[in-house]
Structure 1
Amino acid sequence: MMSGSKVKKMAGLIAIVLTALIILPFLVTILSGSASAAVSEADLKKLKEQASALSKESKKIAEELKSVRASKASAIKEKSIIDNQISVLEQEIETTNLIIQSLSEQIAEKEQEIAEAEQQEAREFELFKKRIRAMEENGTASYLGVLLKCESFTELLCKTEVISEIIEYDKKLLASLKATREQIELAKQELERDRAEQNEARENLTSQLEALEIKYREQNDIIKDLEKDEATFISEYEAAMKEMERVNKEIAKMAAELAKQKAYVGGEYHWPTPGYTKITSEYGNRYHPILKKQSFHSGIDIGAPQGTNVLAANSGEVIVAGWNNAYGNYVVINHGGGQTTLYAHMSKLLVKKGQSVKRGEKIGLVGSTGWSTGPHLHFEISIDGKTKNPKDYFKDLFK
């Protein structure tokens, strides 16, 4: 992530470069305003060197901006992952709460069953005690009296067995009731253990959720800081591009002055991309696809596949063959008489500065370098330093 100090340092460097370039209008005024001093190649070279320095600095800003945006995208992705993890944990906590609620309801049911079992056990025990008490109150004589009334030994055995069975039944019933109550209590204890485990699980999930929420807030802070850095770099980049545009205009004006010193080579212009005449962006005011705002388009964009040959529109001398952040790989040809043509966004340059070229000669290949959204050729025609609509010079193609 880009630190605030690094952002300020980079901004300071750009400010120094921009300040240095403020002297350019004064320099150009001296060069162009004096009747006795003619514009020279040395003057143009000096101006281009300063423009190159600005281009390098703006390239640094562009790289830093790209880095900040990559970090921002990564932070947003991480935030999204954390958000999904939070949603999963919230669902798990909700499920755990439902389980705990269900266990609590089952425990309450078991407690009710235990209470009912205890009541049943107590009732049966009271009946048992009453029968025992009655036998004690009646005494042994009463018990013997019942037995002596038996008319046969068989009847005696029968009644003795019945009395024993009643007593044994009471004992078994009480034992069964006790066993049932104990089983219910065991089931309740198991449910309570399950509930305790679920409570512990919920506490663990809640701790995880709190930790993730902290990370989520941290990612938000990181994203906000990156957005501030991004805004700073965008501002510096736009300032650099604005200054570069001004310097390039001065260069074009100076180049036009030099071009006037040479006679125009003559002849009509040759279309730079034979077989490809579709204009994807016209000359004039337009909505810039990169800057996302209205700006003046100083040439035309010709749609053509990557690697298509780019031909010189007319004979002349290559006065620029290099790189520009906006134009990417580009070439400027001086045709004399104040006329120049510019070819931008090429994937490869096939000529060098100072080289003489013929009309229709291959000078590069179509590409998408610099400020570009896809393969095309940006083509400009300038007369005395002022751009013209190239279509006006190829009316046969655009009837």
Structure 2
Amino acid sequence: MKRFSIKKVISMILIFSIFSTQSSFATELDDAMEQKENLEKELNNSEEKLENLKESESQINGELENLDTQLTEVSGKLENLEGELKLKQEDIQRTSDELEYTKKQLKSEYEMMKKRIKFTYENNSMSILTVLLESDSIAGFLNKITYFLKISDYEQRKMDEYNKLANEVSQKKEKLQKEYDEASALKNEITARQEELTSLVAEKQKAKEAAAESIAKAEEEESHVQEELDATNETITAIKQALAAMEAERKAAEEAARQKAQEEAKKQAENAANNDVSNDNNSSPEENTNNGSGGVFLWPCPSSTRISSDYGYREIIDGVTSSTSHNGIDIPAAAGSNIIAAESGKVIIARYSNTAGNWITISHGNGLCSVYMHASKLYVSEGQNVNKGDVIAAVGTTGSSTGNHLHFGVSLNGAYVNPWNYLR
């Protein structure tokens, strides 16, 4: 009865060790879920930031388009105004020439008038009395006086006409000059506006380039966060698969322990009835050199083919006998020996665990994964793609281990399966 109790305690310890491993994975799952939540928040922030940047870029493009339109209009006005100024300048030049000509004509007419008046008075120096005495009649006298007066009026009218023409031309020139000055001032204003718009366009163009650069950077950050989130989701899936496999192992171990206990109890009862108490024989884990057959995986530890603990149920001897399920094969090898990828795939776990030590899980697709535990060093990282035969780690004794060895396992859809079915 006492021996049965000891065996029962040992079975409970073995089951507890399985639960301890599950607890470690559960902790990692909690950490991964927390990381996933943080990454999802970060991804949402990145998406919001990217959306704001794109809205800003769209606004800048709209402003730039508006400035381009204004600049085109101003440039058109400036071009038209320059044409008008050219015409005004030509009109002013023609008017100046006309004014100069009129002034010359006025001066010439004035000189001729002076000569005519001088000639008249020098050659016809008759007084009114002389004109009266030489006239045949009063009518003749009046005719001569009227003639002289008409000549004087003609000269005066001619002078008045030339003066009026000169004034009109001068006023026309002043008006044209005023219009030209106003157009020149307007041209200066439009030119200043053109320069201002050109400067604004250059600034907006720089802002557009900066926005495009920020968007590219934000998209890169978003892509990086998405990759991390995808990798974390793969890790969560792998951990859940591992937990499911461990739960299956736990139940199998419980059932095996229960059956073993029943067998031992039955055996003890028979021995007690026959007064023949037998002692259990001690045994140690059997080593073999089974290399498997018919699989597609490479042997994961090229430097050693020994097996210190095979896949399946194994007996643990420490004065008493019990059993537990071993979800892989243990390959003893020298510390630092190469561990290679049994098949090509993507690394979904590459980290440290209190139980598995430095360990790696590689996903090969379709729910198939290979697992490598207790390494001294890891040469790959999560999210990395590896090829069949690549060196991924070095043999060690990290985690829950009693010596340098590689624990190699294979899981399918979250449940550990016999690795010999895949090794060649």
Between the aligned partners of 1:251 and 1:61, the Cα distance in structure 2 is 23
**Aligned-pair distance for 1:261?**
7.6
Distance 1:232 1:52, change over 3 A: same
**Aligned-pair distance for 1:137?**
2.3
Match 1:103 to one of 70, 88, 102 = 88
Contact 2:43-2:225 within 8 A present in 1 as well: yes
Match 2:108 to one of 123, 144, 158 = 123
Between the aligned partners of 2:66 and 2:95, the Cα distance in structure 1 is 43
**Aligned-pair distance for 1:141?**
4.1
In structure 1, the partner of 2:21 is 37
User: 2:369 aligned with 1:384, yes or no?
Assistant: no
Contact 1:117-1:180 within 8 A present in 2 as well: yes
Identical pairs, percent: 23
In structure 2, the partner of 1:377 is none
Give the 3-state SS of the residue equivalent to 1:103 in structure 2.
Answer: helix
In structure 2, the partner of 1:74 is 59
User: 2:260 aligned with 1:231, yes or no?
Assistant: no
Give the 3-state SS of the residue equivalent to 1:37 in structure 2.
Answer: helix
Distance 1:237 1:249, change over 3 A: same
Quick one: which amino acid aligns to residue 95 of structure 2? K
User: 2:121 aligned with 1:92, yes or no?
Assistant: no
Quick one: which amino acid aligns to residue 164 of structure 2? A
Unaligned runs of 5+ in 2: 1-17, 249-366, 368-411, 415-424
Contact 1:147-1:160 within 8 A present in 2 as well: no
Match 1:205 to one of 190, 209, 225 = 190
Whose radius of gyration is greater, 1 or 2?
Answer: 2
Q: For each residue in 1:242-280, what CA deviation from the matched residue of structure 2 results, as whole angstroms up to 9, or x when unmatched?
A: 1211221222333344566899xxxxxxxxxxxxxxxxx
Q: For each residue in 1:187-244, what CA deviation from the matched residue of structure 2 results, as whole angstroms up to 9, or x when unmatched?
A: 1101111111111111111112111211111111212222222222111111111121
Quick one: which amino acid aligns to residue 77 of structure 1? G
User: 2:50 aligned with 1:65, yes or no?
Assistant: yes
RMSD (Å), alpha carbons? 3.0
In structure 2, the partner of 1:167 is 152
**Aligned-pair distance for 1:128?**
0.9
Quick one: which amino acid aligns to residue 37 of structure 1? T
Contact 1:257-1:384 within 8 A present in 2 as well: no
Between the aligned partners of 2:244 and 2:71, the Cα distance in structure 1 is 67
Give the 3-state SS of the residue equivalent to 1:212 in structure 2.
Answer: helix
Matches within 5 A, 1:1-399: 37-38=21-22, 43-141=28-126, 150-258=135-243, 384=413
TM-score between the two structures when normalised by the length of structure 2: 0.50
Give the 3-state SS of the residue equivalent to 2:228 in structure 1.
Answer: helix
**Aligned-pair distance for 1:152?**
3.4
Quick one: which amino acid aligns to residue 229 of structure 1? S
Between the aligned partners of 2:179 and 2:88, the Cα distance in structure 1 is 8
Between the aligned partners of 1:134 and 1:43, the Cα distance in structure 2 is 132
Contact 1:117-1:177 within 8 A present in 2 as well: yes
Quick one: which amino acid aligns to residue 230 of structure 2? E
Between the aligned partners of 2:69 and 2:181, the Cα distance in structure 1 is 28
Q: For each residue in 1:274-312, what CA deviation from the matched residue of structure 2 results, as whole angstroms up to 9, or x when unmatched?
A: xxxxxxxxxxxxxxxxxxxxxxxxxxxxxxxxxxxxxxx
Distance 1:141 1:160, change over 3 A: closer
Contact 2:81-2:187 within 8 A present in 1 as well: yes
